[in-house]
């Protein structure tokens, strides 16, 4: 269903790799709500993914950018404002990657070159993106910037590995930069802390199937899907949430406030 919530708004969407990606669903929903945007991803992902199909479907142009390169980000922002015909109202940072996770390197035995690369891609890229937007004065007043995160930033999920640290850093950047963006440009900055979701990045985490089933059983409303996340993001891009900023917003069916659920307890009571 469409409410025209983003009619006349322009933006950039990072991170749509394939139709499972949270960014893919978000692009589809933003399009349905009347928003216009440029799609972007790392040059290597352009070759692996199916972003052309999404661009066609949403009438969008694609500009490749490695989110760790300030030069690429500057080019992306300059070209996007040109293509869209004005400053931006929304930006989605939906980027995450850990080489330690990908290669099964344990948290207690990290390869620090990989750790550093993961931090640059998953967290520092958000600072680089916002600094480039800020210095270029590329956001309209009452614009909205959203990044995606996971609760391993606050609580221990052993197999989330160094991504837990990257997410803690990402969330801190949202608050710190969000202050200056709010004070100087009237732009809001938030992170959405999403349920485990079956995507390329998500499925890379060891034991993901068990992890997602556990979260689902713990949550009174069940896991939030990628489409649910897209809808929540649309609300944060809309004018209905103008004074929500510096927040880490849990979008997880209630998981983050649970201790234990009947469904999880019953798996331990089976033999009694
Ligand atoms: N899937 C989950 O369980 C889950 C849960 C909570 C939060 N998140 C977060 O959601 C976001 C989106 O991930 P997803 O689950 O949709 O997976 P995904 O694999 O579809 O998306 C990750 C994206 O990051 C992009 N990327 C990697 N390196 C990049 C670079 N250098 N420059 C630009 N882009 C780069 C990839 O190409 C890909 O499109 C990530 O921040 C992820 O950590 C995912």
Are 26 and 229 in contact, with CB atoms under 8 Å apart? yes
Give the atom of ligand 1 at the shortest distance from the alpha carbon of 67. 32
Tell me what the mean pLDDT of segment 215-229 comes to: 98
For ligand 1, whether the C-beta of 22 sits within 6 Å is: yes
Judged by average pLDDT, the poorest of 22-36, 50-64, 67-81, 258-272 is 258-272
pLDDT, residue 271, reads 55
Residues whose CB falls within 8 Å of the CB of residue 53, separated by 6 or more in sequence, listed in order: none
List the one residue out of 158, 154, 185, 163 whose CA is nearest residue 248: 154
Q: Residue 250 pairs with which residues in a beta bridge?
A: 193
pLDDT one-digit tens code per residue, 228-268: 999 999 999 999 999 999 999 999 999 999 999 999 999 99
Tell me what the mean pLDDT of segment 183-207 comes to: 93
Q: Whose CA is nearest to atom 10 of ligand 1?
A: 148
Task: Look at residue 102 and tell me whether its pLDDT is greater than 70.
Answer: yes
pLDDT, residue 75, reads 98
CA 78–ligand 1 middle distance (angstroms): 24
Tell me what the mean pLDDT of segment 171-180 comes to: 98
Give the atom of ligand 1 at the shortest distance from the alpha carbon of 195. 5
Task: Look at residue 29 and tell me whether its pLDDT is greater than 70.
Answer: yes
For ligand 1, whether the C-beta of 119 sits within 6 Å is: no
Residue 255 or 271, more confident:
255
Task: Look at residue 272 and tell me whether its pLDDT is greater than 70.
Answer: no
Give the atom of ligand 1 at the shortest distance from the alpha carbon of 194. 6
Q: How far apart are CA 146 and CA 265, in angstroms?
A: 35
Residue 204 or 49, more confident:
204
For ligand 1, whether the C-beta of 187 sits within 6 Å is: no
Give the atom of ligand 1 at the shortest distance from the alpha carbon of 14. 34
């Amino acid at each position: 269903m469409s409410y025209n919530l983003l009619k006349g708004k322009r933006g950039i969407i990072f991170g749509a790799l394939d139709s499972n990606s949270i960014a893919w669903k978000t692009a589809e929903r933003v399009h349905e709500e009347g928003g216009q945007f440029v799609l972007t991803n790392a040059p290597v992902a352009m070759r692996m993914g199916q972003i052309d199909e999404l661009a066609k479907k949403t009438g969008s142009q694609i500009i490749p950018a490695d989110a760790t390169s300030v030069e690429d980000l500057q080019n992306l922002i300059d070209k996007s404002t040109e293509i869209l015909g004005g400053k931006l109202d929304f930006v989605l940072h939906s980027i995450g990657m850990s080489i330690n996770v990908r290669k099964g390197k344990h948290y207690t035995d990290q390869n620090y070159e990989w750790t550093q690369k993961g931090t640059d891609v998953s967290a520092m890229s958000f600072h680089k993106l916002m600094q480039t937007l800020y210095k270029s004065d590329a956001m309209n007043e009452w614009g909205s910037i959203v990044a995606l995160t996971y609760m391993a930033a606050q609580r221990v999920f052993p197999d989330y590995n160094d991504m837990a640290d990257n997410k803690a850093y990402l969330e801190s950047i949202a608050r710190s930069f969000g202050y200056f963006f709010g004070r100087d440009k009237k732009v809001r900055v938030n992170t959405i802390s999403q349920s485990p979701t079956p995507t390329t990045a998500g499925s890379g985490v060891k034991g993901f199937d068990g992890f997602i089933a556990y979260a689902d059983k713990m949550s009174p409303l069940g896991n939030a899907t990628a489409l649910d996340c897209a809808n929540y993001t649309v609300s944060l891009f809309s004018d209905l949430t103008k004074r929500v900023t510096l927040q880490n917003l849990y979008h997880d069916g209630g998981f983050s406030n649970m201790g234990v659920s009947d469904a999880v307890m019953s798996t331990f009571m089976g033999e009694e």
